[in-house]
Chains A and B, each alone.
Chain A
Amino acid sequence: MNMTQEDLTITDPKMKAHGVNVFYGEKQAINDVSIDVGTDLVTAFIGPSGCGKSTFLRSLNRMNDTVASAKVTGRIELDGEDIYAPSMDVVQLRARVGMVFQKPNPFPKSIYDNVGYGPRIHGLAPNKADLDVIVERALVRAGLWDEVKDRLQESGTALSGGQQQRLCIARAIAVDPEVILMDEPCSALDPIATAKIEELIHELRGKYAIVIVTHNMQQAARVSQRTAFFHLGTLVEYGKTTDIFTNPRQERTKDYITGRYG
């Protein structure tokens, strides 16, 4: 790692990872990764399939806990607090660090209940009127309100793929998180739906710290200000997106972004 201090022009990191290793049983999926995620920035993780970028993303809100064989070592902080400390309430952590998945996964409930699910379980809405406000605000922010405001009681699974993914983003926004992790959110969508999601990411920037894993390098270039390139479980290079794409320091990064392998 030849990263020098001026590469990381992040003065106010929302999340800090230091020396993180992730194991699945005997196999090591992530090897000594250190990275800071900026509060007002969109951070993209890129790299070939199996490079560990999704695994690392899932360790940022402890979703790896659901895999019995997974083990995380090292230190990951959210606002300076160790998220793997025994005192950390994982349920609260995931409310603060939301996640959007590769395939849209709305619950088989109404649109309203999909968005209202999080606020209900966290007790954010003492009564129906409050919940109405939260649901509307989340759907507006996710850019879905105008399309669904007249059919909030219809099933969320009846929406199109792109709408479903924005519903999932609305669902994450509804619990008022500080960080939103997106795991290849557009890989199951067509180009038009993808463009809408990218637009949405632009609009959400500054309100939430956003980390997005993507296979699509153009997408990373379009939506992010920081890019991290992963390869074979290690972080090869991390810096400003413009630098990574125009002037990579590492040979491997250059090979990847010029399409030599991947």
Chain B
Amino acid sequence: MTFNAAALLLLIAGLALIGWLAGRARSNLLAGRAGAKLHSRPQYHGWYVALWLFAPAALFLAVWASVSPALITNQVLTTEAAENLPEFGFERGAILSDARNVAQGRQADVRLPAAAPLVKPYADASHQYAWIGIAAMLALALAGGLYAFTRIRPDFRARSRVEKIVMMLLLLASLVAILTTFGIVLSLLFESIRFFRLVSPAELLFGTHWAPTSGAPQPDTFGGIPLFWGTVLIGAVIAMIVAIPIGMMTAVYLTQYAAPAVRKWVKPCLEILAGVPTVVYGYFAALTVAPALREFAVMLGIPNASTESALAAGIVMGVMIIPFVSSMADDSINAVPQAMRDGSLALGATPNETIRQVLIPAALPGVMGGILLAVSRAIGETMIVVMAAGLSANMTANPFASVTTVTAQIVKLLTGDQEFDSAKTLAAFALGLVLFIVTLLLNIAALRIVKKYREAYE
């Protein structure tokens, strides 16, 4: 007997269905007997019973499924058979999981001889905890169901109770995304702390030489400045030089000049541009733009021209960001009240003067917010730089040279055979943390600016 969560979930779902039918029938019956009018329709009484039956039991099931393996292992460790286990580490874990797999029927026989004596204690413990879990779950389901069932009366406000329970369920659902993000940040934080025990944060943030090697960390090999410089050069400088003017002009054209028919076609096309997978942009950058730029650079006689250039990655990234900038600018310009535009036109300003001197200054805070969001997207972008910007950590202002970025290095550090606890691998988490903090700050700043600006016109 093992604990099968999916089957149990099905079981309580079945019980809930019975509860629903019973609740509905009982409300009808009581109403008929008392000759009174039901406050809520019979379905709501059914739902009330079903939800009370299902929700606590399902919640318990989720908790139990994640807690019980640890409880089982603890119990096994208290038996005599576990006394000979190695104290710590990988071997101990392997023996325990080997025994567990056999005991729970996932593999036919033990692979490690040391695991054999543990199989029986494991099977016993699993069995025992499975029964405890099932019994507790059924008890909860029945208790919940009975509680709800006994509260059914013709004047019972099942309808508003169901409303409340549904609201709680929705709240739980919305918490899932937030809690998951929180968990990801925590794991990032813990791995980063492990890295910072090996290498000082100051070296990562201010060091200028980046050449991580496997094994024990060498001094002066984890300097992040070249990566940060490459990230800024590609994401915040070159990409923005492309995206800001083109995005702004697109937005001005679409909001001020384009006929409704044109707008109807151009806007969805831009949105499609935003939906192109970044790996496709990566191909385009690596196979088309980069070689062309290199030939151009060679023609001009620029030294160090590489087929993996910052310029190629930056330009293509800029193109990728255009819809982002233009849609934010579009929203901001549209949010400027029509009265402002009319006021300028009524003074005899041309549409062009109106846009340059009234609309864009008025929309600027919103546009700035949009640009900050775009920068934060650009510096977190990975595929294009992996494919087109290269991996050599150069500190150069020459846009035709190869540079690397934080994201490209994270990919490089985590791919291939690596020990998981070496400084080289852990560096990826520390870089990820830096990137996360920077983009978080950019996003907060952007959202604050946008919000403040929105309030000004309401």
Contact = CB atoms under 8 A, between A and B. Distances in A.
Partners in one complex: yes
Interface of A: 61, 63, 66, 68, 91-96, 98-99, 101, 103, 105-109, 117-118, 121-122, 168, 171-172, 175
B345 A175 contact: no
A175 B344 contact: no
Contact of A118 (B259, B340, B347, B362): B347
A91 B347 CA distance: 8
B345 A95 contact: no
B357 interface: yes
B342 A107 contact: no
A91 B348 CA distance: 4
Contact of A122 (B345, B348, B362): B348
26 contacts: A61-B346, A63-B342, A63-B346, A66-B341, A66-B342, A66-B345, A91-B350, A94-B345, A96-B348, A98-B346, A98-B347, A99-B346, A101-B342, A101-B343, A105-B337, A105-B339, A105-B340, A107-B343, A108-B340, A117-B344, A117-B349, A118-B348, A118-B349, A121-B353, A122-B348, A171-B343
A68 B258 CA distance: 11
A90 B343 CA distance: 15
A101 B339 contact: yes
Nearest 10 A/B pairs, CB to CB: A95-B348, A99-B346, A105-B339, A94-B348, A118-B347, A105-B343, A91-B348, A108-B362, A121-B349, A121-B353
B358 interface: yes
Interface of B: prevailing SS: helix
A118 B259 CA distance: 28
B86 interface: no
Contacts of A92: 348
A186 B42 CA distance: 58
B357 A117 contact: yes
A33 to B, nearest CB: 21
Contact of B347 (A68, A103, A108, A175): A175
B361 A109 contact: yes
B219 interface: no
A15 to B, nearest CB: 16
B275 interface: no
A233 to B, nearest CB: 22
Contacts of A93: 348
Interface string B326-354: 00000000000101111111111110010
A175 B362 CA distance: 22
B260 interface: yes
A213 to B, nearest CB: 14
A188 to B, nearest CB: 11
Contacts of A66: 341-342, 345
Contacts of A109: 361
A88 to B, nearest CB: 12
A94 B361 contact: no
Interface residues of B, number: 21
B316 to A, nearest CB: 36
A172 B339 contact: no
B104 to A, nearest CB: 69
Tell me which of B337, B341, B345, B348 has the highest count of chain A C-beta atoms within 10 A of its own C-beta: B348
Contacts of B259: 68
B339 A94 contact: no
Contact of A172 (B342, B345, B347): B347
Contacts of B260: 68
Contacts of A63: 342, 345-346
Nearest to A96: B348
A175 B259 CA distance: 31
Contacts of A91: 348-350
B344 A107 contact: yes
Given A63-B342, A105-B337, A105-B340, A117 B347 contact: yes
A66 B361 CA distance: 21
Interface in B39-76: none
A94 B344 CA distance: 10
A107 B348 contact: no
A111 to B, nearest CB: 15
A95 B347 contact: yes
A107 B353 CA distance: 13
Contacts of A94: 345-348
Contacts of B346: 61, 63, 94, 98-99, 101, 172
Nearest to B359: A107
A61 B349 CA distance: 13
A12 B260 CA distance: 43
Contacts of B361: 107-109
Interface string B140-158: 0000000000000000000
